[in-house]
Amino acid sequence: MLSKSQAKLFFFLGTIICSLLFVGLTIDTFRKIPGLTHAENLTPSVARGKVLWEKNNCMGCHTLMGEGGYYAPELTKVYERRGEGFIKAMLTDPTAMFAGQRKMVTYKLTDQEKDDLVAFLKWIGEMDLNGFPPKPTLSQENK
């Protein structure tokens, strides 16, 4: 039967090998992220948009790239789906587009800030996400 020192060896070897592999893969991933996310399009406006996204915790209701709250629409492809005008209208007065529905916080954003958030969402929408979000395969419209 396995002895305690063998069990210990199994634990340490497994952990060390896997940790090293993980760090190695992380370094490789970090080298590839700029290409996959089109970092060349990451303008100062996009970066400011990201700060606003975080400062207001939009992720507490919405998912982005599938991460966040499950209370409000997934926003990864919202730029493609709704366009700039619609998004800005939402950020000005959420009840304008969806009256009587679930509530979104009404933000007091400047025009510049709205531009930044739109730029951020547009940039997210152009990333290579391995095909996420899925195309609805049972949709009547696709048939």
Partner 1 sequence: MKFESQRVSYWFFSVCMLLFSLQIVYGFIMAFAHIGYDNLHSIIPFNTARATHTNLLIMWLLCGFMGSAYYIIPDEADRELIFPKLAYVQLIAFLLVGVAAIIGFHLNWWEGRKFLEIPRPLDYLVVVNVLLFIFLIGGTILKGKRFTTTSLVLFFGLLMAALLYIPGLIDSDNQTIDSYLRWWVVHLWVEGVWELILGAILCYLLIKLTGVDREVTEKWLYVILGFTFLSGILGTGHHFFWIGTPKYWLMLGGIFSAFEPIAFLAMAFFAINTARKGGRNIDNRIALYWSVGCSILSFVGGGFLGFAHTLPAVNYYTHGTLVTAMHGHLAFWGAYAMIVLSVIMYTMPHLTGKKIQDNAISYFAFWTSNIGMISMTLAFAVAGIAQVYLEKKVGLEFLVVQKELEIHFVGLVLAASLFSLGIGAFVYNFISFGKPCGNLLPRNRK
Residues that bind ligand HEM (CB under 6 A): 66-67, 69-71
Least spacing, CB of residue 60 vs ligand HEM, in Å: 8
Is 45 or 92 the residue whose CB approaches partner 1 more closely? Answer: 45
Question: Which is closer to ligand HEM, CB of 67 or CB of 80?
Answer: 67
Beta bridge partners of 62: 72
The residue among 29 and 57 lying less far from ligand HEC, judged by its C-beta, is 57
Task: Name the strand (E) or helix (H) holding 88.
Answer: helix 78-92
φ/ψ of 130, rounded to 5, equals: 55, 35
Q: Which residue is nearest to ligand HEM (CB)?
A: 70
Closest to ligand HEM by CB, 34 or 66: 66
Picked from ligand HEC, partner 1, ligand HEM, none, the partner binding residue 100 (CB below 5 to 8 A depending on kind) is none
CA dihedral 89, 92, 97, 100 (to 10 degrees): 180
What's the burial of 118, exposed, middle or buried (CB within 10 Å: 0-12/13-18/19+)? buried
Dist CA 107 CA 110 (whole Å) = 9
Half-sphere exposure in the Cβ direction for 102 (13 Å, CA): 7
**Residue (76 or 119) nearer to ligand HEM, CB:** 76
CA atoms within 13 A on the CB side of 34: 5
Residues in touch with partner 1 (CB under 8 A): 2-4, 7-8, 10-11, 14-15, 18-19, 21-22, 25-26, 28-30, 32-34, 36-37, 39, 42, 46-47, 50, 53-61, 63-74, 98, 101-103, 105, 124, 127-139, 141-142
